[in-house]
Amino acid sequence: MTDSWKHVLNVLYLNGAVLCVSDDVQTPVVVSIDEDPEGVEETLELLEARFSTAITPLVSSGAKTIIPKILEDLKKGIADSKIQIDNDTAIQAFIIGQVSQMLESRNNLLNRLLVEGAFRLGEVLAANVFDSLAKLWRGHIQSTLEEIDYQDMVEGLRKLGLIESRLQVSICPNCANYELVVSRFLGGPDACPKCGESWTTAKLYSFVPAYEKAKLRNADLALFISSYLRNKVSQLAPLGNLDVNPNATLSLKGVRFEVDVYLPQFNMGIECKIFENSFAPMTTTRLGSIKGPLTKQIKNYASLGIKKIGIVTNLPMDANEKLKATLTKEIRPGSVAFEMVPGDVEELVKWLDLLATRIAEEFNKALEKSVQSYVKPQPELRHPPPGIFANRPKREVETPPTTSMSGQSKGPPNQIEAS
């Protein structure tokens, strides 16, 4: 993995619930804004005010056009006894019918008013969409990453094809021009086509379907860890056969337990904890709310025979250390050995590299031992034939089988289901 792409891995530390559009719309998204959104706040207010100012005379003109004719026809219908004055349903049906006839007419004033109103509505719609995207963008940054890291992450995800565009809205702070585009293939000029000045563009992206499912369940971190370990170990120990199960479910005595990453050959499990707001202060109350469930999970791992535990969080270094100190006091000494990795891409990759190196060393040691067991020295002959190799012992060498570490460490007799 090159350093230029490590910023993309920050997406692993973003909680899927935080990225959702709203509580009602469970679709994780990311937002890109190329300039400071505060620079167009006055323009947004201007567009909304311009809409309010323009829509009032339109509504008044429409009312003056429609209502007198409807009232006249309604009065005539009542006079002709076609409509009962106390029949609300009949009156409502009559009014709807009159409006429909007006809309069906080609050269009626109401249609012209609706078209003009649509143009005015476009202004306030663009302003509201931009404001909504800016709020999403701020929320993501405040609870997840620094602004520059977030922007680099979004751009990297776009280049890798893990996100796809949905819409973009551009606002010009100079002339109040706007552009709203709904498309999966976004582009457009960097400058306002009306005045030529630079304008601010906000783009909305959604995750591709396969990744969206993993992101909603916060399962993408476990999938990455499993894939990284598998590939790294295969490089360091080509004959090794690492068994790694992401998002596994283990059954023990009829009870089912979830293990984010399970390495049965080494009795090891990795727990991934992605909190919604990783930058929130680690107060005593918050520490207590995190400690309880995490301590229970560690004990569950221990009951499954998992003696080595890695805990990967999206917490900053200081908060991660406070949590580690608290968990150390809660876990009985000698019951399990656990390590904690903070929410930093560099630290995560470094820890995975060390873990992969240790695993590869175990595979290579087992391979070396297996090779030695297949090399058997033969007894020396009493009358060896003359020659250059007469004084050297002969050996028989058999090709060793591929090492799978199946007997390296016996794991618990569990049933494993990998999701």
Task: Write down which residue in 213, 248, 273 finishes a domain.
Answer: 213
Predicted TM-score (pTM) of the model is 0.73
Three-class secondary structure of residue 307 per DSSP: coil
Main-chain phi, psi angles of 358, to 5 degrees: -65, -45
* Interval 181-210 mean pLDDT: 88
Q: What is the DSSP string of 58-79?
A: HHHHHHHHHHHHHHHHHHHHHH
Predicted pLDDT of residue 164? 93
Is the Cα torsion angle 406, 412, 417, 419 positive or negative in sign?
Answer: negative
Average of per-residue pLDDT values in the chain: 80
Q: What is the pLDDT of residues 41-69, one digit of tens each?
A: 888 888 877 766 655 554 555 555 555 55
Whether residue 159 is found in the same domain as residue 16: yes
pLDDT band for position 219 (cuts 50, 70, 90): very high
Instruction: State the residue range of the domain holding 172.
Output: 3-213
Q: Does residue 370 belong to any structural domain of this protein?
A: no
Is the same domain home to 140 and 250?
no
Cβ distance 225 to 246 under 8 Å? yes
Q: Are residues 205 and 227 in the same domain?
A: no
Q: Are residues 188 and 272 in the same domain?
A: no
Is the domain of 200 the same as that of 87? yes
Identify which of 4-8, 123-127, 171-175, 387-391 has the greatest average pLDDT: 171-175
Residue of higher predicted confidence among 66 and 368: 368
Q: What is the pLDDT of residues 13-39, one digit of tens each?
A: 999 999 998 888 889 999 999 888 888
